[in-house]
């Protein structure tokens, strides 16, 4: 039987019901490789295992455990939790890494509850000291940096998407089939599934270098196109305030803030966004912040490096053509 290094870090690679490996795996394996030996686990429907294992190798996993479960595409969480429990028992890792994605959070939570493990959530980094892995968190909109660890045993942690830049070199991993005893735990049934279609060539909001966000000041879904136009000129991702999401200008997945996505880009441009504290919680650690708002008292100006008091419908078109002419 395969030996596992004492500094093994077990990484759950997220696989969609259709067998696709989600991009979060790259950062997770990158983070694991920086502090130990990454062992990846893929849980997939029968037949989908080898392709997913190969993808994990391309992200730098040296060893991959494959659990093929007939219920992987019909049962929401338990097949993955059972497989993770079996993998952890086999590997005895120092830490278990999952994505702080919707699915990753749930699997981490159930696994930690089942095994009585310490759980650290929404990590922005991981390092190691003499006693083992140390987890870094950014709390209250980045106002505080907090380090945590497990008092004993392997720590289970979820890693914020887009927070880890480290990438491990691609490998040809050793692949092993994992036998998974079923827990018999009652689960949620998957009734139907529609895969996300990446419709645009725009970057992902999480981890983007530049983000252009629009708020209620855009006024309508049609006029929100101006945000997208500027984003495309800058090669930026598109964000939004909760008010813009509630008004139906853009889907919820674009929401930046307290209850949306947290971003930390090089450049953040806020258009027609007042800068409520809950919005700032999701973007105030951006390197450079630019704001355009017609209200000189809008709180967004308190944190902007460059602010313009003006009508965004006049300023943005001029900005777009000025950028284009600078590039000529």
Partner 1 sequence: MKIVVLIKEVPDTWGDRRLNSETGLLDRAGAEPVVDEINERALEVALTYADAQTGTEIVALAIGPASVPTSLRKALGMGADSAVHVLDDALVGADITLTAQVIAAAIKRIGFDLVIAGNVSTDGGGSAIPSMVAELLGVPGATYLNAVEITVDAVTGRRETEAGSFGVKAALPAVISITEALPDARFPNFKGIMAAKKKPFETLSLGDLDITPTEESRSIVLNVTQRPARTAGTVITDEGDAGQQLADFLAKNQLI
Ligand X SMILES: Cc1cc2nc3c(=O)[nH]c(=O)nc-3n(C[C@H](O)[C@H](O)[C@H](O)COP(=O)(O)OP(=O)(O)OC[C@H]3O[C@@H](n4cnc5c(N)ncnc54)[C@H](O)[C@@H]3O)c2cc1C
Q: CA-to-CA distance for 72 and 68, rounded, in angstroms?
A: 8
Kindly tell me which residue out of 3, 130, 151, 169 binds partner 1, with binding defined by CB under 8 A: 151
Burial group, residue 34, by CB count within 10 angstroms (0-12, 13-18, 19+): middle
- Residue 225, contacted partner among partner 1, ligand X, none, CB below 5-8 A by kind: none
Kindly tell me which residue out of 162, 215, 265, 307 binds ligand X, with binding defined by CB under 6 A: 215
Binding mask 266-305 for ligand X (x = CB under 6 A): ------xxx-x-xx--x---------xxxx--x-------
Report phi then psi at 26, rounded to 5: -60, -50
Kindly tell me which residue out of 194, 201, 222, 328 binds partner 1, with binding defined by CB under 8 A: 194
Give, as ranges, the residues between 163 and 182 that touch partner 1 (CB under 8 A): none
Asked if residue 51 binds partner 1 (CB under 8 A), the reply is no
Number of residues in the chain: 328
Give, as ranges, the residues between 104 and 163 that touch ligand X (CB under 6 A): none
Kindly tell me which residue out of 142, 166, 258, 320 binds ligand X, with binding defined by CB under 6 A: 258
Please state the closest distance from residue 211 (CB atom) to ligand X, in A. 13
- Packing angle, helices 102-115 and 78-91, rounded to 10: 60
State the Cα torsion 139-145-151-153 to the nearest 10°: 80
Q: How many CB atoms lie within 10 A of CB 5?
A: 15
Phi-psi region of 89 (alpha: psi -120 to 50; beta: other; left: phi over 0): alpha
Q: Which is nearer to partner 1, 165 or 305 (CB)?
A: 305
In Å, the largest CA–CA distance within the chain is 68
Asked if residue 100 binds ligand X (CB under 6 A), the reply is no
Size of the site for ligand X (CB under 6 A): 28
Kindly tell me which residue out of 17, 190, 303, 313 binds ligand X, with binding defined by CB under 6 A: 313
Binding mask 203-242 for partner 1 (x = CB under 8 A): -------x-----------------------x-------x
Give, as ranges, the residues between 220 and 249 that touch ligand X (CB under 6 A): 241-244
Per DSSP, the three-state class of 309 is strand
- Residue 215, contacted partner among partner 1, ligand X, none, CB below 5-8 A by kind: ligand X
Please report the DSSP string for 233-292 in residue order: HHTPEEEE-HHHHHTTSS-GGGBBSTTSB----SEEEEES----HHHHTTTTT-SEEEEE
Kindly tell me which residue out of 70, 165, 170, 193 binds partner 1, with binding defined by CB under 8 A: 193
- Which of 148, 142, 141, 81 has the alpha carbon at shortest distance from 114? 81
Kindly tell me which residue out of 257, 264, 284, 301 binds ligand X, with binding defined by CB under 6 A: 257
Binding mask 117-136 for partner 1 (x = CB under 8 A): xxxxxx-----------x--
Kindly tell me which residue out of 63, 103, 171, 241 binds partner 1, with binding defined by CB under 8 A: 103
Q: Which is nearer to partner 1, 37 or 285 (CB)?
A: 285
Asked if residue 295 binds partner 1 (CB under 8 A), the reply is no
- Which of 66, 92, 120 has the alpha carbon at shortest distance from 9? 92
Report phi then psi at 283, rounded to 5: -145, 0
> For 265, what's the count of Cα atoms within 13 Å in the CB-facing half-sphere?
28
Q: Are the CB atoms for 138 and 43 separated by under 8 Å? A: no
Asked if residue 102 binds partner 1 (CB under 8 A), the reply is yes
Provide the binding-site residues for ligand X, judged by CB under 6 A. 215-217, 241-244, 255-260, 272-274, 276, 278-279, 282, 292-295, 298, 311-313
């Amino acid at each position: 039987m395969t030996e596992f290094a004492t500094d093994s870090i077990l990484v759950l690679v997220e696989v969609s019901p259709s067998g696709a490996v989600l991009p979060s795996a790259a950062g997770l394996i990158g983070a694991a490789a920086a502090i130990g030996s990454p062992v990846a686990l893929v849980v997939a429907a029968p037949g989908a295992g080898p392709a997913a294992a190969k993808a994990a190798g391309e992200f730098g996993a040296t060893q991959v455990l494959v659990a093929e479960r007939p219920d992987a595409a019909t049962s929401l969480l338990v097949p993955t939790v059972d497989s993770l429990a079996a993998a952890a028992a086999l590997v005895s890792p120092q830490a278990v890494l999952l994505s702080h994605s919707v699915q990753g959070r749930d699997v981490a939570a159930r696994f930690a509850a089942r095994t009585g493990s310490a759980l650290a959530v929404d990590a922005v980094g991981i390092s190691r000291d003499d006693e083992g892995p140390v987890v870094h968190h950014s709390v209250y909109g980045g106002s505080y940096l907090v380090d945590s660890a497990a008092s004993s045993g392997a720590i289970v942690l979820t890693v914020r998407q887009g927070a880890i830049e480290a990438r491990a070199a691609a490998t040809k991993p050793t692949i092993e089939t994992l036998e998974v005893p079923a827990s018999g735990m009652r689960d949620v049934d998957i009734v139907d599934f529609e895969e996300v279609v990446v419709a645009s060539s725009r970057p992902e909001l999480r981890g983007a270098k530049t983000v252009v966000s629009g708020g209620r000041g855009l006024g309508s879904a049609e006029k929100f196109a101006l945000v997208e136009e500027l984003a495309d000129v800058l090669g930026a991702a598109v964000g939004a305030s909760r008010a813009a999401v509630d008004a139906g200008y853009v889907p919820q997945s674009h929401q930046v803030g307290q209850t949306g996505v947290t971003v930390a880009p090089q450049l953040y441009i806020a258009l027609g966004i007042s800068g409520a504290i809950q919005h700032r919680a999701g973007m105030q650690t951006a390197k450079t912040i630019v704001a355009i708002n017609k209200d000189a008292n809008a709180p967004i100006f308190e944190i902007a490096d460059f602010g313009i008091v003006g009508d965004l419908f006049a300023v943005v078109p001029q900005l777009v053509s000025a950028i284009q002419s600078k590039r000529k």
